[in-house]
Structure 1
Amino acid sequence: MNIENCTCVFKLLPGIQRFSSENFLKIARCGINTEYNPKRFHSIIMRIRHKHNRTTAALIFQSSKVVLTGVPNIRLARKMATIVLKRIEFSIREAKIQKFSELGIISLKVTNIVSSYRSMNRVTIELIYQEFRRRHKYDKLFEKITKVSYDPTIFPALRFKMNDDKFKREASCLIYISGRVILTGINSTKQVEYLFDNIILPLLVKFPRL
């Protein structure tokens, strides 16, 4: 599967430290590629542009928590966090705010990975749905699938959730008739590989649309 993007979180200040309202507003005003409208959303939005018109957005909260969305892959998470940190440091200097001695990248972690796959064959997703409803208690292929929904009048894809004792997070998957697959709710590439190899790929192989 191809990783499309990741969501990551980290803090700029340790413990319960936070920016004062005055300093937070100054940082927003002196920011690089930032916008801040507290009436709409209580965070500074900073945009980092990549090649091929891709953008990572950093949501910076007064608590010093930062949420990075649209990170192209896990390897770039720390690089994106470093860019945010350097821009915040620049804003602090420009705003003539007293320097924060403990400003840094604290507790950086990946909270969600969105990955995708394109099967060579179309898929009989309606048959997967029917088989799950009839045999999920007896068929090993379905034992790690916890919930399945399919209503083409509402949404064109089969939606299901997966859980495994090896990983403590429940993942969500969409399978389209075209063979396109989207997997979310995961925070490690190992879980992506495991779920694809042991659940998703066997479903695609067993239920091709002939």
Structure 2
Amino acid sequence: MNIENCTCVFKLLPGIQRFSSENFLKIARNGINTEYNPKRFHSIIMRIRHENNRTTAALIFQSGKVVMTGVPNIKSARTMAARVSKRLKAMIRASNIIQLCEIRIINLRITNIVGSYRHKNRVAIESIYMHFKQFQQQQKRGQVRKAENRQSKELFKRIISVIYDPTIFPALRIKIKNEGIKREASCLIYISGQVIATGVMCNTQMKHLFDNIILPLLLNFPRL
């Protein structure tokens, strides 16, 4: 799986400290590549351009919380957070605000990773959908046959739901049990073999998801 982008969260102010409404408005007015419309959304939207014409968006809230989307990879998360912090400090200086506490990066963590993969063959996503529905019905009736489900039984047991309606969306949508955390992982599988996975928070979880669920599905259900 290739990591496409990440979502990160961190704080700029310690404890319960927050920007006053007046200071927050002053900061927003002195930003470069920033947008602030409190009637539409209660955060300063800061856009940071970097190589390959990609853009990371940072949502800065009055509480000092920052949500960054479009971070290229896990390794660059701290670098992008440092750029947000540096730019915000410049905005505060330009606003002539006497800041009582130091602006710094606090509790930076990855909250979501989006990965993609292109399989070499086309995928029979209709067969995955039908086999999963049959497995669910047999499981409810207690009629799951070991001989017939040797390859797919353990695989389907870790899948929460499968949705496929080509009149609404062209991909197979799968929700998967994400071991170690309470949240679910999601996966889109297209007939072409294109796969998009999300809902994991580290490379280890992404690798586990791909090796144990996504790749076996692709290999077991080729489009003939």
Normalising by structure 1, report the TM-score.
0.97
- Alignment-derived partner of residue 149 in structure 2: none
Q: Tell me which moved more, 167-176 or 149-158.
A: 167-176
* Alignment deviations for residues 148-207 of structure 1 (CA, whole Å, 9 cap, x no partner): 110111110000111044343310000000000000111111110001000000000000
1:53-102, CA deviations, whole angstroms, 9 ceiling, x for partnerless residues?
11000011111111100000011111111001001111111111003433
Mapping of residues 1-12 of structure 1, within 5 Å? 1-12=1-12
Whole-angstrom CA distance in 1 between matches of 2:169 and 2:110: 29
**Residues in 2 aligned to 1:100 and 1:159: alpha-carbon distance in whole angstroms:** 49
Q: Which of the residues 176, 181, 185 maps onto 2:190?
A: 176
Identify the residue that residue 18 of structure 1 maps to in structure 2. 18
Per the alignment, residue 119 of structure 2 pairs with 119
Output the amino acid matched with 1:35: E
SS at structure 2 position matched to 1:75: coil
Question: Are positions 1:208 and 2:222 aligned together?
Answer: yes
Q: Does 1:190 align with 2:210?
A: no
The 8 Å contact of residues 13 and 101 in structure 2, kept in 1 or not, is answered as: no
2-side partners of 1:182 and 1:43: how far apart? Answer: 29
Consecutive unaligned residues of structure 2, counting only runs of 5 or more, are 145-152
Distance 1:67 1:16, change over 3 A: same
CA contact under 8 A between 2:178 and 2:185: conserved in structure 1?
no
SS in 1 for 2:128: helix
Off by >6 Å, runs of 4+ in structure 1: none
Shift of 1:120: 0.3
One-letter code aligned to 1:83 = R
8 Å contact kept, 1:6–1:69: yes
User: What secondary structure, in the 3-state scheme, does the structure 2 residue paired with 1:73 have?
Assistant: coil
Q: Mind listing any 5+ residue stretches in structure 1 that lack a counterpart?
A: none
Which AA in structure 2 matches 1:202?
P
Please tell me the residue identity of whatever aligns with 1:27.
Answer: I
Cα distance in 1, alignment partners of residues 45 and 180 from structure 2: 36
CA distance in 1, matches of 2:124, 2:45: 42
Could you tell me which residue of structure 1 aligns to residue 147 of structure 2? none
Letter in structure 2 aligned against 1:192: M
Moved more, 59-68 or 96-105: 96-105
Q: Mark the structure with the bigger radius of gyration.
A: 2
User: Does 2:60 match 1:46?
Assistant: no
1:15 aligned counterpart, secondary structure: coil
Q: Distance in 1 between matches of 2:19 and 2:212?
A: 46
Correspondence 1:157 to 2:171? yes
Given residue 69 of structure 1, which amino acid in structure 2 is its aligned partner?
Answer: T
Structure 2 CA distance, aligned partners of 1:127 and 1:200? 15
Q: Which residue of 2 aligns with 1:68?
A: 68
**Equivalent pairs: percent with the same residue?**
69
Q: How many residues are matched?
A: 210
Matched-pair contact (CA < 8 Å) for 1:167–1:191: no
After superposition, the CA RMSD in angstroms is: 1.1
| CA gap 1:33/1:115 in 2 versus in 1, 3 angstroms | same
Moved more, 137-146 or 9-18: 137-146
